[in-house]
Structure 1
Amino acid sequence: MATIYETKEKSSCFLSNTNTKIDANVNFGGINYFVPAWSISILPDCREEAYNTAKVSAQTSLMIKKLNKAEDEPSSLKWMWRPELIESTSVQGRGDVSVNKIVDQKDMANDASDYLWYMTSINVAKDDPMLNGTVTLRVNDTGHVLHAFFNGEYIGSQWSKYGNNNVTYVFERNVNLSLGKNLISLLSVTVGFKNYGPMFDLVGAGITSPIELVLNKNVVKDLSSNKWTYKVGLNGISNKFFDTDCASKSSSKWVSDPIPVDKNFTWYKTTFKAPLGNKPVVVDLLGLGKGMAWVNGHSLGRYWPSYIADKQLCKTETCDYRGRYSDSKCVSKCGEPTQRWYHVPRSFLKDSENTLVLFEEFGGNPSGVQFQTVEIGSVCINTHEGKEVELSCQDRPISKIKFASFGSPQGVCGSFDKSEFDSEVDALSILEKECLGKESCSFKITEEKFGRPSCEVKKLAVEVVCEDFTL
């Protein structure tokens, strides 16, 4: 389909191919154009194609991570720890404000913290049937994470599952009521709010009504209108355990031995040397559960490497950009942590000793934590004939041409493969002569340079390796 925008002075044209599978050869204005499936060609003067959405010629970079050469991590990291003090809320039920209803977490926390405590108590008389029956605490939650305590004892956690657009869930645990006062303490945790869509600002968060006690599968008490006491935040964050100056003023001190692992609500601290050089720095937090991280008092944000991407989301077929977009399209790395490396800006780091502080909410093991640098390992292009392209290793020379073929090469960057239609001309040897030892090289993709393949749509796929300057 052709769309023409015209004024008295000039006109511009757009050629579109909405077919998701079949490429098109189009004759428009007496000129032939090749328009790949599911793409748009832009002709600023209605004659020469300036851009096509399927013929993008930008290079792809495969990044690699290098160990911190300044020290032998992770063994060199000496950890200290201290507990998050939750007794005032989980055992004593003390908070900042009390009302006789369940309040939305966004309204109560007011962006001051991810964490909000909901606390209430119930009195059980001698003749109350709940005293001797099987009682279940049932809590409705709109996400994202819930930790529950009953009479000061931790009874479990729950969170919204991956890929669930509706983050609501129901938490249920059996509890043993005692004669007299019983305290329910619920810690609700958010991990960011929706920021788009119709009326997104009205979407609730946290615990919602009803909150019930169930006896033998029958609801016997709705606690929603009880007196609920609320407390925003956590003790360690309020007292700035992550700030080395403020943390020293707390009554709870850092302990060096033994280091507990898989213990929830635990703070960890260590010192490290900044990685050498000027490459971007990341910290690998694999082995930890969920929490927050700071370097030299600067927040790195939330971490959650124990959150594993659903194995069922990845498809076996080759990724294809064509067709309508969906969040399940071209999904990769299923069955792996949704995130494990966290960026540490160089501006956060000192030339001298640096401090990493972690608040571990779920329970994990910090012994595998290590700092790494990130750099380009190899770069690729996979571009149509006629394009002028550049291969660049930025500040390092090209050390090897790993793959090069012109015609209809298959695969993606890192796993290219030749097809039976590719040109017989040795594209790899041509590029070795032109590019090896250079930080970048530019050339135009033509049949005169790379030979004539036996296919109608011609592309050049190249992968080059960047020289490894090991410090």
Structure 2
Amino acid sequence: MAMAKSLVVVLVLFLLSFLAYSTTVSHDGRALLINGQRRIIISGSIHYPRSTPEMWPELIKKAKEGGLDAIETYVFWNAHEPVKRQYNFEGNLDLVRFIKEIQNAGLYAIVRIGPYVCAEWDYGGFPAWLRQIPGMEMRTDNKPFKDEMQTFTTLIVDMLKKENLLAPQGGPIILSQIENEYGNIQSGYGAAAKNYIEWCANMAQSLDIGVPWIMCQQADAPQPMINTCNGFYCHDFQPNNANSPKIWTENWTGWFKDWDKPDPHRPAEDVAYAVARFFETNGTVQNYYMYHGGTNFGRTSGGPYITTSYDYDAPLDEYGNIRQPKWGHLKALHAALKIMEKALVYGNYNSTQLENGVQITEFTGKGITPGCFISNSNTTLDATVKYHGQNYFVPASSVSILPECKEEVYNTAKVNTQTSIMVKKRSQAEDEPEELSWSWRPEEMTSTLKGALGNFSDHKLLDQIIGSGDKSDYLWYMNTFDHPYDMDMTLQVATQGHVLHAFLNGDHVGSQYAADGNFSFTFEAGVKIKKGKNYISLLSGTIGHANYGARFELVPTGIAGGPVFLIGDGGMKHDLSSELWAYKVGLNGEDNEIYMDNPNDKWYTDSVPSMRPFTWYKTTFKAPLGTEAVVVNLEGMGKGVAWVNGNNLGRYWPTTIANNQGCELCDYDNHTVPDDHCRTGCGEPGQIWYHVPRSFLKEGEPNTLILFEEAGGEPFNVNFQTMVVGTVCGHVEEGKTLTLSCQGTRTISNVEFASFGNPVGMCGAFQKGTCDSQIALDAIQKACVGKMACSIKGSARVLGDSECKNMPVSLAVQAVCS
């Protein structure tokens, strides 16, 4: 009897504990419901493989401090299952650890399983081995694909369930996604597309995860799937069912960068405007894509022609630093929205249209503190709106937020947070020489240049992703043939690859790179064929694979089908395409893991060459002092891959030059968006700075940098630096408080400009206006110099009388961090 009572007590305690921590997630047509309460959820994307486990807690902490409720991530199939049924969930692929870090911070999680992700990720996240399955057709009503998709999706769900990470289990996950942006391209799959989407929905529901499933960009998403919106603006989006809340899965905070394009940006004002309009129109869940973009470490995290940097102009930059003013301006927006959260999800909605694109939207109800928006969607005309007896200045393309509908606490175009200008600082460790000392070794190609030691052979020119299984960026195509006499000919190779290096009888006869991302070109070179046996060796290289579009997986890569011709006098052609070709996957240096710096590897220290293709370089260095993010400058190198202590930093290609399109003044008055304007870096190398996470480095002992240089480069100018805040600026209206922070341990060493009056200009180009306080500079110097952060209220009591008569007064400051 006593034992039975004890078991009952244990059971009751367990049930009470479960109920205490369990979270119910549901929805109605107005909002997402958390434990029965309607909520607005502000989320941000952080991709765990694009950072490191050591970075995760700080990234999530900064996201929470920025006012986020949730962190969103994709799940990356090809990273987790690179070989069929061989899984990797270690290091920065430790999905469970990442979700638990989110939970430890007290935030919710949104998991987009897909498993197609797009995400500017290699092959859209699909593992290459799928192509080797007979009868395989991806993302359609195809049994082999559906079997594999269900196997992986079930694996992820079971893993999350086992760790109690779903909200009903007490975990942080409140939403999950199946498929991704399929509606954008489903017309390319014909009638089978509808069957496939219905199957996706049924399969997802059968997994019984206890939280809603979403499908982004899927207007015909079957119930109970919630269809959601992606884009720069989603305030006009409406879900396809009256019981589905309005969810924005991707608010693009910037854009990704290609090697040959300048750096895209999106003004903080425009991001804020889009968010405010979304919640003004009954939005409930909004996710920033990206909140931290991160780095395309390794091979699989970078899609076609995408740089190693995936910075995305996000509120947290590639290295995890707070990007100001975007982070702070959005933080203030989140705070304003949260003040009137109850009104937004429970209040009655009423919108009044005024002239020239101006409208007033009120959320009111019995027992609810009201909330109001005044929005001006006119892109060129400012407006002054009289509301409840007060005048409100609402600039073009902006929204004013009025909790209680009485006073403006925030306007999306009025930035009252600092601007931080990041700089690179040469920060050497103690006793570190100014120049690095290099050793080198050639890539061993003797066997491949003679057609020997292939992994397999075939009487056709294979697609590179099929031939290599995506185990390397490189695939050798090797052919041996006899010729009756010496002869001058032309070697002609049609390729879908991004790079082609051609050799005849051991001699390099030429290289060619795809121009402007056009991955289809014909290589030609004059060659001398000798009497007897000849060897043609073609090294095809890729820079990521197609990741978007209907049947994108069928986009050919490499010398797929060729043809390959030898052309003689009079146009005589010898077609080698269907002859026997031997194949070797990858480089010999990759096979031997030279990048791991095995003590038995032989390196040469004499006569270190420069501008020599197919060369490995090695140097040692000490970790820069401090805690700031570390970068390595690879300007002068050609094209290749970099490793630090065996960790793959990603591809480098500094010799690509960004075009001159879109580098206009990033002025929000022009209402610019990143795919049209607002770019920087025109005419400059595509990327020269590469992130070296602190967790990759060893303190107090030598670290190893190894480079594989494919095209030929100059290693002697390579150096390590740290990313720090160099200049901080701010411009706020009278009555507002300006906070300046150097981030980290650096302090404000000098105030270069200060004006309390009617200053004009922007950070780096401030000028005093026609009236100004005489004591403002001195007051700000006393408040800020020598401090890591300071706050100054823009008031005459603090800064002195500006003597501005009948005009707006503001405070502008520019200071230096050292």
TM-score range, shorter chain: 0.7 to 0.9
Matching residue of 1:238: 591
Q: 2-side partners of 1:225 and 1:28: how far apart? A: 78
Contact 2:494 2:520 in 1 (8 A): no
C-alpha separation in 1, matches of 2:639 and 2:384 = 53
1:207 is matched with which residue: 550, 553, 559?
A: 559
Sort the Cα spacing of 1:83 and 1:348 in 2 relative to 1 into closer, same or farther, 3 A: same
Aligned-partner Cα distance in 1 for 2:556–2:582: 19
Cα pair 1:136 1:172 within 8 Å, conserved: yes
Number of the residue aligned with 2:677: 329
Residues of 2 paired with 1:461 and 1:418: CA distance? 9
SS of 1:429 mapped into structure 2: helix
- Paired position in structure 2 for 1:57: 416
Shift of residue 219 of structure 1? 7.6
- Ranked by relative contact order (alpha carbons within 8 Å, sequence separation 6 or more), the top structure is 1
1:242 positional shift? 1.6
Measured against aligned partners, the alpha-carbon deviations of 1:440-467 in whole angstroms (never above 9, x if no partner) come to: 111334577573658977654321112x
- Say whether residues 1:188 and 2:548 are aligned partners: no
Output the aligned Cα RMSD. Answer: 3.1
In structure 1, C-alpha distance between the alignment counterparts of 2:484 and 2:473, rounded to whole Å: 37
> Which of 708, 715, 723 is 1:374 aligned to?
723
Go from structure 1 to structure 2 and tell me whether the alpha carbon gap of 1:165 and 1:243 turns closer, same or farther (over 3 Å shift).
closer
Please say if 1:114 is aligned against 2:114.
no
Query: Out of 613, 622, 633, which is 1:273 matched to?
Result: 622
- Distance in 2 (CA, whole Å) between partners of 1:326 and 1:375 is 25
Q: What is the SS of the residue equivalent to 1:210? A: coil
Q: Residue 318 in 1 paired to residue 665 in 2?
A: yes
**Kindly, what percent of the aligned residue pairs are identical?**
46
Q: 1:434 to 1:212 in 2, by over 3 A?
A: same
TM-score by length of 1: 0.84
- 1:358 and 2:669 equivalent? no
CA contact (8 A) 1:141 1:171 kept: no
Does 1:103 pair with 2:445? no
Q: CA contact under 8 A between 1:74 and 1:367: conserved in structure 2? A: no
The match for 1:66 is 426
2:753 matched residue in structure 1: 403
Residue 641 of structure 2 aligns to a residue whose secondary structure is strand
Kept in 2, the 8 Å contact 1:38–1:323? The answer is yes
- Of residues 351-360 and 176-185 in structure 1, the stretch that sits farther from structure 2 once superposed is 176-185
Query: Do the aligned residues in 2 keep the contact of 1:291 with 1:359 (CA within 8 Å)?
Result: yes
With 290-299 and 186-195 compared, the bigger mean Cα shift is at: 186-195
Matches within 5 A, 1:427-466: 427-446=776-795, 449=799, 451=802, 460-466=811-817
* Alpha-carbon distance in 2 for matches of 1:30, 1:107: 70
Question: Tell me, what secondary structure is at the counterpart of 1:176?
Answer: strand
Contact 1:289 1:361 in 2 (8 A): yes
Larger displacement relative to structure 2 (13-22 or 288-297): 13-22
* Distance across 1 between alignment mates of 2:492 and 2:421: 50
For 1:70, the aligned partner's letter is: E
Residue among 683, 687, 693 paired with 1:345: 693
Instruction: Provide, for residues 235-279 of structure 1, a one-character-per-residue CA deviation record: whole Å limited to 9, x for no partner.
Output: 11121112233x61x5xx211112111111111112222223333
Distance verdict in 2 for CA 1:133–1:280, change over 3 Å: closer
Unpaired segments ≥5 residues, structure 1? none
Q: Note if contact 1:16-1:39 (Cα within 8 Å) is conserved in structure 2.
A: yes
Q: In 2, distance between residues paired with 1:342 and 1:100?
A: 41
Aligned to 1:137: 492
Deviation track 1:313-360 (CA, whole Å, cap 9, x = no partner) reads 364x53223434243522223333222222222222221222221111
Q: Of 83, 98, 102, which residue of structure 1 is paired with 2:442?
A: 83
Deviations 1:108-139 (A, max 9, x none): 3333222222223444445xxxx746524132
Specify whether residues 325 and 277 from structure 1 end up closer, same or farther in structure 2 by C-alpha distance, changes over 3 A only.
Answer: closer
Aligned counterparts of 1:37 and 1:104: Cα–Cα separation in 2: 52
Q: Which residue of 1 aligns with 2:398?
A: 39
Count the aligned residue pairs. 451
Q: Does 1:283 align with 2:657?
A: no
Change (3 A) 1:81 1:442: same
1:26 aligns with 2:385: yes
SS in 2 for 1:148: strand
- 1:102 and 1:208 in contact (8 A); partners too: yes
Give, as a single letter, the amino acid of the residue that structure 1 aligns with 2:534: N
User: Shift in Å at residue 420 of structure 1?
Assistant: 4.4
Letter in 2 for 1:431: I
Paired with 2:409 and 2:672, the residues of 1 have a C-alpha distance of 24
- In the alignment, is the contact (CA less than 8 A) between 1:81 and 1:267 conserved in 2? yes
Distance 1:38 1:209, change over 3 A: farther
**Mapped partners of 2:400, 2:551: distance in 1:** 36
Q: 1:366, CA displacement in angstroms?
A: 1.6
For 1:453 and 1:153, the matched residues in 2 are separated by 77
> How far apart, CA to CA, are the structure 2 residues paired with 1:25 and 1:452?
25
Q: Contact 1:210 / 1:222 at 8 angstroms: preserved in 2?
A: no
Query: Are the equivalent residues in 2 in contact too, given 1:416–1:461 (CA < 8 A)?
Result: no
1:225 alignment partner in structure 2: 578
CA drift at 1:186 = 1.9
Whether the aligned pair in 1 keeps the contact of 2:672 and 2:678 (CA below 8 Å) is no
Contact 1:403 1:416 in 2 (8 A): no
**C-alpha displacement at 1:89, in angstroms?**
1.7
Q: 1:210 to 1:458 in 2, by over 3 A?
A: farther
**Of the candidates 501, 504, 509, which is equivalent to residue 150 of structure 1?**
504
The aligned residue for residue 159 of structure 1 is 513
Matched AA of 1:107: I
The one-letter amino acid of 1:276's match is L
* 429-438 vs 441-450, which moves further: 441-450
Counterpart CA distance in 1 for 2:622 and 2:774 is 50
- TM-score, length-scaled by structure 2: 0.50
Letter in 1 for 2:645: N
Give me the whole-angstrom Cα distance separating, in 1, the residues matched to 2:364 and 2:577.
66
C-alpha distance in structure 2 between counterparts of 1:283 and 1:377, whole Å:
18
Gaps of 5+ in 2: 1-357
Q: Distance in 2 between matches of 1:194 and 1:457?
A: 53
Offset, 1:234: 0.9
The one-letter amino acid of 2:647's match is H
| Paired residue type of 2:503 | F
Q: 1:260: which partner in 2?
A: 609
Map of 1:2 onto structure 2: 359
Give how far 1:3 is off: 6.1
